[in-house]
Amino acid sequence: MEKRSGIDAVHNFWEQVWRSPQNFDAIDDLVVEDFVIISGGRRIEGREAFKKWAEDFSATIGNFSSEIVDSFENRDGSRVAATFTITGTNNGAFGTKPDGSPIEMTGIVISAVRDDGMLLSNQVERSAFEMYQRLIAR
């Protein structure tokens, strides 16, 4: 089995799943069956549960756009940290009224990557609370 760069695996995942056009079916080929994501203090376990979460999250942000800003990996490539930006319009994000107002969030994701490039887990921290405060202040 050829060892892939952890950064290459994370960038490939981001490009296929989160970039326009989003392709949530690509998750089947890029994460392990028992994949875990922790985001907003919530733990989502399993590939199918993650796909549902990703689809639901994306649906709340119209004109969804995302970009990896910076990334680096540990020595063996098994852990990758990446900063990102998400932009779009409010389509009911964080339970707010869908009013089309602009959304811009930043965040960081730490990914565990298997030797073959499959993602094992993501731990995500994002500026969601700050974005929520801006949305309800309008």
Encode the chain (138 residues) as per-residue pLDDT tens digits.
455 689 999 999 999 999 878 999 999 999 999 999 999 889 999 999 999 999 999 999 999 999 999 999 999 999 999 999 999 999 999 999 999 999 999 999 999 999 999 999 999 999 999 999 999 997
**Looking at the DSSP assignment, which residues form a beta bridge with residue 123?**
38, 110
Give me the pLDDT at residue 20, please: 77
Give me the pLDDT at residue 4, please: 65
What pTM value is reported for the model?
0.90
Give me the pLDDT at residue 21, please: 87
Q: What is the CATH number of the domain that holds 33?
A: 3.10.450.50
Burial of 58-74, coded b for 16+ CB within 10 Å and e otherwise, reads: bebbeebebebeebebe
Look at residue 1 and tell me if it is in a domain: no
Look at residue 71 and tell me if it is in a domain: yes
Give me the pLDDT at residue 42, please: 93
Owning domain of residue 43: 6-136
Look at residue 100 and tell me if it is in a domain: yes
Give me the pLDDT at residue 10, please: 97
Give me the pLDDT at residue 27, please: 98
Domain count, the chain: 1
